[in-house]
Structure 1
């Protein structure tokens, strides 16, 4: 025992050594199998959680006259779509008109 304190432990620095873990696929699979038998399951999420990213990432900041803004807003609300959808549709109509002219 070390000294008068029965709970103290004498550690000599030369005896404290770390050993690298065996991370081979076989060993990892074996430890995972043993863990599952004892009720331990992997808790890390399998896929990304939360909202999926929107494909609509381009932003157009159009300044329009107040009356045009109100009309666009009312039309989008009446149709149940976002204002960007109206802009996409208007652009498609514009491109179609350009094709038919040229």
Structure 2
């Protein structure tokens, strides 16, 4: 690089060192007190916002024939449930038949 380049930076790699932050209880309390003195407030949310997590987190990606897909969708609409509920019920019936 040319020394005439106004955007060049001359950095001494020996002076670029990172230091760990003091995370002791006393240091945190001092910084919190200084922040409150200058009017800073904690911005972290007090509780988790948004919808509660659903217990139904497992997903099944089943590819079925188009006519089967239409029948499952129609039955779910007729009963007013999600398609996953139909799959859960069908699995319960399968297991009951298999076990006994």
Q: TM-score, normalised by structure 1?
A: 0.57
Aligned pairs (5 A) from 1:55-94: 55-66=56-67, 68-94=68-94
Larger radius of gyration: 1
The structure richer in helix per residue is 1
Size of the aligned set, in residue pairs, is 81
Quote the RMSD (CA, aligned, Å). 3.0
Gaps of 5+ in 2: 1-18
Q: TM-score, normalised by structure 2?
A: 0.58
Gaps of 5+ in 1: 1-18
Give the equivalent residue in structure 2 for 1:44. 44
Go from structure 1 to structure 2 and tell me whether the alpha carbon gap of 1:78 and 1:41 turns closer, same or farther (over 3 Å shift). Answer: same
